[in-house]
Amino acid sequence: MLVYGDTNSTLAGALAASKLHIPVFHVEAGLRSYNKLMPEEQNRVLTDHVSNLLLCPTQTAVNNLKKEGITEGVINTGDIMYDVVLRNIEISQSRYSNGVWLDELRKENEKIPSLTEKEYYLATIHRAENTDDHKKLFEIFASFEKMDKPVILPIHPRTGKLIEKLDIKLNNVTLINPVGYLMMLYLTANAYMVVTDSGGLQKEAYFLKTPCTTLRDQTEWVETLENGWNVLSAINMDEILNTVTRELECLQHPQPMLFGDGKSAEHICNAILKGAK
């Protein structure tokens, strides 16, 4: 049974296979935020402890497993999301450059203002820890309204319902419907900064060399914090604004190769084939 990541279905598949004595191979093993209140943390820890082959995206993940006494079947394959970004970013840039991205977005929302690359923030908010705490949600949107550049926000259904229910007024924020992967890559690569509570988007911002502010107290992707490419922010308006307006010294530093060589799919396949013999 091959399972990926830290969703409820990941844990369900891992547990079902384990009870049937079917080997479990976990892609993206070893991640830890050390916040056991997070459903994702519960899922990833339990999945790792019933897995036979632990396919880690980074050396940090390997080290995390070692701390928990898991050393057999552990392989650093690199991050498969990095493979995907490398294979799709040129397609994305080719498809949506020269203003095509704005034309596409305006097909669904004609009120989208004129925007230019590197002159907007790309934001996503969806985690229950932020959306279900109305005080936090108000702080987040209050900070968005005071930012020095427009904010583009692909809206999660949960967040959208709360904006309407709580009557949150938006002037500097442009809500757009969820977009496809290639468009999201383009928006991420061409943003001045990403502001998010998403784990995956933190990484994609890092891969695309776009600075990121993460609206959480911790991240499972600690590698993205190196050299300030990603900075965590507490959920209050002053802290968020201070973080997003920081000096972007990260742009002066080359990124270390912390997520593999872009061939993790090949390494994962080889590990599985070797383990199956």
Active-site residue numbers? 126
Q: 271: which residues sit within 8 A by CB, 6+ positions away?
A: 53, 55, 75, 77
DSSP state, residue 235: S
Hey, what are 275's tokens? 């383990």
- The set of long-range contacts for 139-145, using a CB threshold of 8 Å and a minimum separation of 24, is 139/235, 139/236, 139/237, 139/240, 140/215, 140/235, 140/240, 141/168, 141/170, 141/173, 142/237, 143/237, 143/240, 143/241, 143/244, 144/170, 144/172, 144/173, 144/195, 145/169, 145/170, 145/171, 145/172, 145/173
Amino acid sitting at position 46: L
Q: Over the Cα atoms of the chain, what is R_g?
A: 20
**Helix 181-189 to helix 80-96 angle, to the nearest 10 degrees?**
80
Question: Tokens for 265?
Answer: 């799919």
